[in-house]
Amino acid sequence: MNTIEILHPGLFTTIQDIGRPTHQIEGFSESGAMDQLAYQIGNLLLNNPNDAAALEYTGIAPDLLFHTETFIAITGAKLSQPSLNQQPIQQNTVYAVHQGDQLNLGPITAGRFGYLTIAGGIQTPKVLDSRATTLKAQIGGLAGRTLRAHDQLPILPVQTLTSLEYRHLAWHALPATQPIRLLPGPQWSQFTKQAQTQFLNQTYTITNQTDRMGYHLTGKPIATPTTNLLSQGTAFGNIQITRNGDPVVLLADRQTTGGYPVIATIAAVDRHRFVQNAPQAKIHFQLLTVTQATALWRTQQQNLQALTQSFHAMKYQPPISPQRIAAQKITSMIQVTD
């Protein structure tokens, strides 16, 4: 059996993938990686299928011992000093690991959620079509729970693809000071003009009530509609205004249905930027039209596809330098969209 052993689980490490959207009809949370962009980049660096399961960590990242050889990449939240066998390693870069290698990821210093992707993906059994861990339902990942010391994660045997090694993506998100872009929500027009203006003009603070289900924000409370809303289906990034007038942003492990009015939804192109905010971070919003947001999202997805295709095209070419240059060129396309 090819396995990776957890030496130290970190603070909150789970197995995640693209989630189980088709089971929302049965009441199961979608789940999956919080930062789908960082997770996707990790997988495409490794030529993985786009739903290959990865480790997601927050706060303090795990330490692992490899009982087999494979390739890995770390993406997402910034780590203070990740190392492979005591040698510092970089993010967004592919490394070859061998039997007996030890990976120490350590604490996160910026951002919120990071990913360790592994060639071929983690091979824990699928539950309801996904390997994503949903704690509330106790399904997915390993027994539906966060990882613990001594857990063994099954992985696939890999062929040595020298062209993968040191593949690197110089990718940076927009600075945190830029506004988080929004679409109007289904109940937007039920809020008063004054509430809408106040919502768009004020600076919100992310509270300590933040988890994979959602982030609670606080600001000057806004007036909520008085109509009693029947529960409706939710989407990633929906911003509900609760009875006390503060927003809650619904994220990966959100309930499938909700009864609070949804004033707006975070534009898909900015989801990854929003989820990487830690408690106490200041947030302000900017409203887009559906057309603008759709164009931005389409461009981001098309650039990712182009990057994937170019990586696949380079799969069997001689290693390192030519493709690193190519990868960096393509990288600039992703940044344009951001």
Partner 1 sequence: MTDYHFFQLSESSLMLIYPNKIDVRENTFIQQLAQTLQHTTEISGITSVIPGYATLTINFDLLQIDQATLQTQLTKQMNLLETTVTATQRIIDIPVCYDEAFGPDLQAVADFGHLTIADLIHLHTQQTYFIFMLGFLPGFAYMGSVPDQIAMPRLATPRKALAAGSVGIAGKQTGFYPVVSPGGWRLLGRTPLKLYDPQNPRPRYHAGDYIHFYSIDRHDFDEIYQADRADAFKLQIHQRIGDHS
Write out the binding residues for partner 1, residues 3-32 only, by CB under 8 A.
21-22, 24-28
Q: Which of 315, 237, 274 is nearest to 113 (CA)?
A: 274
Distance CA 274, CA 70 (A): 32
Which of 232, 299, 310, 337 binds partner 1 (CB under 8 A)? It is 232
Contact between 312 and partner 1 by CB under 8 A: the answer reads: no
Contacts of 259 (CB under 8 A, 6+ apart): 229, 230, 231, 232
* Closest CB to partner 1 among residues 218, 301: 301
Q: Name which of 166 and 297 has its Cβ closer to partner 1.
A: 297
The DSSP code sequence of 213-230 is: SEEEEESS--PPP-S-PP
Q: Is 106 in the site for partner 1 (CB under 8 A)?
A: no
The one-letter code for the residue type at 109 is: T
Stretch that binds partner 1, among 71-79, 150-158, 194-202, 259-267 (CB under 8 A): 259-267
Contact segment (CB under 8 A) with partner 1 among 4-12, 166-174, 205-213, 257-265 equals 257-265
Contact call for residue 185 and partner 1 (CB under 8 A):
yes
CB 209 within 8 A of CB 244: no
Which class for 209: exposed (0-12), middle (13-18), buried (19 or more C-beta within 10 A)? middle
Three-state SS sequence of 161-184: CHHHCCCECCCCCCCCCCCEEEEE
Between CA 247 and CA 53 the distance in angstroms is 31
Q: Quote the least distance from Cβ 307 to partner 1, whole Å.
A: 15
The site that binds partner 1 (CB under 8 A) totals a number of residues, namely 43
Residues 28-57, mask of contacts with partner 1 (x by CB under 8 A): x-----------------------------
- Residues at the contact surface with partner 1, assessed by CB under 8 A: 21-22, 24-28, 127-128, 136-139, 144, 183, 185-186, 227, 229-238, 255-257, 262, 265, 267-268, 290, 293-294, 297-298, 301-302, 305
